[in-house]
Amino acid sequence: MKKYLVAFVIALLPMTAVASGAGPKLDHVEIDLHNQASLQRGMQTFVNNCLGCHSAQYQRYGRAAEDLGMPIKLVEQNLLLGDQKVGQQMTNTMPKQDANKWFGNAPPDLTLEARLRGPDWIYTYLHSFYKDTERPWGVNNIIFPSVGMPNALEYLQGEQTLHCTLDELHHETGKIDPLTGKEMGGCLTISKKGQQSAEEFDRTVTDLVNFMAYIGEPSKLESHRIGTKVLIFLFLFFFVAYALKKEYWKDVH
């Protein structure tokens, strides 16, 4: 019995440690599916900057509006492309074959991307574009070398320049600026300013990744809501069941 119990406990241990292999260090992003304002901003950024190339074909506008607490009218007026309807999936009209020709690889559907790569990967990826005149779009990406995607958010972030090799960058130990006490990013710097400051851009990308995490698992929000109610019910029901048990067994002994 003891052996089974031990085996059972081991089986319950999370398996995430298995997946943590070598590779570039990823920045961490805090996902908060209960922050509706963040999810709404993320959806706006997604529709305005990504949906032209990437679809999110398993997500419907209407469902997102409902889950994120947005009035349908507002979504219809501001977020729908062309003559799309709110009940439709978030698709675009880019023909796959043409896209293959233009980009080398067609832009993949992003509905499940946050589950495939993880939010930290997407967050780091969107921060990691740098100028590379040898690439067709003039940019490369630190964690996705020879990427076929242009830097869609460059107008916000600005243009980044890499001053060392990728290998050196991955081993950069983060020298500390003696004046500010902050880590100096010697290898990767902003060489042309964008519309947002570094902090604003971090927030924009956090909101965007938050939204992408939501579309990867839209029912998670609902499960949380229902889950809490179920737990409260079970807690209360325990007392009822216990009282009933006492009543039944009262005369047996």
Phi-psi region of 82 (alpha: psi -120 to 50; beta: other; left: phi over 0): left
State yes or no: 54 annotated in a binding site: yes
Q: Is residue 127 within 8 Å of residue 153, measured between CB atoms?
A: no
Of 87 and 104, the one with the shorter C-beta distance to ligand HEC is 104
In angstroms, rounded to a whole number, what is the distance separating the alpha carbons of residues 37 and 110?
A: 21
State yes or no: 53 annotated in a binding site: yes
Of 112 and 221, the one with the shorter C-beta distance to ligand HEC is 112
In the complex, minimum distance from the CB of residue 226 to ligand HEC, in angstroms, rounded to a whole number = 30
In the complex, minimum distance from the CB of residue 85 to ligand HEC, in angstroms, rounded to a whole number = 23
Of 36 and 44, the one with the shorter C-beta distance to ligand HEC is 44
**Burial label, 131 (beta-carbon count in 10 A; 0-12, 13-18, 19+):** middle
State yes or no: 187 annotated in a binding site: no
In angstroms, rounded to a whole number, what is the distance separating the alpha carbons of residues 13 and 11?
A: 6
In the complex, minimum distance from the CB of residue 15 to ligand HEC, in angstroms, rounded to a whole number = 22
In the 8-state DSSP scheme, what is residue 43?
Answer: H
In the complex, minimum distance from the CB of residue 73 to ligand HEC, in angstroms, rounded to a whole number = 25
Based on C-alpha coordinates, what's the Rg of the chain? Answer: 24
Q: Is residue 33 within 8 Å of residue 220, measured between CB atoms?
A: yes
Q: What is the DSSP string of 206-222?
A: HHHHHHHHHHHSTHHHH
Residues that bind ligand HEC (CB under 6 A): 49-50, 52-54, 103-105, 107-108, 110, 113, 117, 122, 125-126, 147-150, 152-153, 208
In the complex, minimum distance from the CB of residue 138 to ligand HEC, in angstroms, rounded to a whole number = 13
Of 90 and 153, the one with the shorter C-beta distance to ligand HEC is 153
Residue with tokens 């990013």: 185
* Beta-strand runs (E) in 108-228: 129-131, 139-141, 158-162, 188-193
Of 30 and 177, the one with the shorter C-beta distance to ligand HEC is 30
Of 84 and 172, the one with the shorter C-beta distance to ligand HEC is 84
For residue 17, count other CB atoms closer than 10 A to its CB: 7
- Quick one: which of 56, 52, 51, 50 has its CA closest to 153? 50
In the complex, minimum distance from the CB of residue 236 to ligand HEC, in angstroms, rounded to a whole number = 44
Binding region for heme c: 50, 53-54
